[in-house]
Amino acid sequence: MNRRALAAALTAALLVPLAACGTDEDGAAGDSPRASGTGGAPPKAELVVLAASSLTDVFRTAGAAYEKKHPGTEVTFSFAGSQELAAQVGQGAPADVLVTADTKTMDRLGDDTGTPTVIAKNRLVIATTEGNPEGIDELKDLADSELKVVLAAPEVPVGRYSEQILGAQKITVKPVSQEPNVRAVLSKVEMGEADAGLVYKTDAATAEDKVDAVEIPDGQNAIAQYPAATLKTSKHSEAAAAFVTWLSGPEAQRILRDAGFQKP
């Protein structure tokens, strides 16, 4: 009996430190930094990010970079006009992060989000059909009644910025259509359905082989700000916060700069 008792005691002594140190393959142990949020890599998750249409290309690049640095985390984007994204949040769409093209839309969702952080800025340009055959040189040229000009709807951030800069210069434009997001405006110009449209500088850059971009002087322009925030309904709050933090970090900022976005 003594020999059996000694063997049992030795076995227990060996198992205790192993149990204290062990975690499962997913890092699910309650005392690990990954699970507790006290440090280390962000937890693995499938993140859904609602993002403004003007971020389509750059965020696809950023998402791939983030996944490469954070194995086990998958980032899925849903792109639309900021006003559409706000409606989705209001309807309880299952998502983790929201990035809009203006602070006004984000501010209206203060009860649904964490504290927003501006990650980038942008400016408007006049997008014309390739070669600028109508010879559009400045904002006042858009008032020509013979021109087919397309703008974003006024409830869309880029549409609101467009109204702001045209109104400041007392320029009256009668658009042939008002689109639900900036990519729809750009598409109309690309396809020749409009002679010109007001879009973000970064959007025009994505189609530089199909449209020309006419710069608007700083004194006549507007600055678009892009705030990012976690959603309070997220089921992956730590991973969502880690992604938002990463967007302000050097790697993401380099990707945004390379795409033509300005510093926050």
Residue 14 has pLDDT above 50, yes or no: no
Asked if the structure places residue 35 within a domain, the reply is no
Q: Is the same domain home to 178 and 106?
A: no
Asked if the structure places residue 13 within a domain, the reply is no
Any long-range contacts for 244-252 (C-beta under 8 Å, 24+ apart)?
A: 244/97, 244/114, 244/117, 246/66, 247/62, 247/99, 247/117, 247/119, 248/117, 248/119, 251/65, 251/69, 252/62, 252/65, 252/66, 252/119
Which has more pLDDT, 59 or 9? 59
Q: Is the same domain home to 115 and 233?
A: yes
Residue 262 has pLDDT above 50, yes or no: yes
pLDDT digits (tens, 9 = 90+) for 22-63: 333 333 333 333 333 334 565 678 999 999 999 999 999 999
The radius of gyration of the chain from alpha carbons, rounded to an integer in Å, stands at 25
Asked if the structure places residue 23 within a domain, the reply is no
Kindly list the distances between the CA atom of residue 75 and the CA atoms of 67, 68, 96, 104, 227, in Å, as whole numbers in the listed order.
7, 11, 10, 25, 18
Which has more pLDDT, 75 or 34? 75
Q: What is the pLDDT of residue 182?
A: 97
Q: What is the pLDDT of residue 41?
A: 62
Q: Is the same domain home to 198 and 175?
A: yes
Of 3-7, 95-99, 161-165, least confident by mean pLDDT is 3-7
pLDDT digits (tens, 9 = 90+) for 185-223: 999 999 999 999 999 999 999 999 999 999 999 999 999
CATH code at 189?
3.40.190.10
Q: What is the pLDDT of residue 178?
A: 97
Asked if the structure places residue 254 within a domain, the reply is yes
Please give the average per-residue pLDDT across 59-75, as a whole number: 96
Q: Coil, helix or strand for 123?
A: strand
Q: What is the pLDDT of residue 42?
A: 59
Asked if the structure places residue 1 within a domain, the reply is no
Kindly list the distances between the CA atom of residue 73 and the CA atoms of 60, 63, 238, in Å, as whole numbers in the listed order.
15, 10, 12
Asked if the structure places residue 92 within a domain, the reply is yes
Which has more pLDDT, 159 or 39? 159
Q: Is the same domain home to 111 and 233?
A: yes
Quick one: what percent of the chain has pLDDT higher than 90? 83
Please give the average per-residue pLDDT across 225-239, as a whole number: 97
Asked if the structure places residue 144 within a domain, the reply is yes
Q: Is the same domain home to 254 and 172?
A: no
Into how many domains does the chain fold?
Answer: 2
Q: Is the same domain home to 126 and 209?
A: yes
Residue in this structure with the two tokens 């989705």, named with its chain if needed: 88
Q: Print the domain residue range for 241.
A: 42-121+225-258
Q: Is the same domain home to 113 and 170?
A: no
Q: Is the same domain home to 202 and 134?
A: yes
Q: Is the same domain home to 49 and 103?
A: yes
Q: Is the same domain home to 116 and 238?
A: yes
Rama region for 39: left / alpha / beta (φ>0; ψ in -120 to 50; rest): left
Asked if the structure places residue 24 within a domain, the reply is no
Q: Is the same domain home to 134 and 215?
A: yes
Q: What is the rounded distance in angstroms from the CA atom of residue 100 to the CA atom of residue 106?
A: 7
Q: Is the same domain home to 178 and 110?
A: no
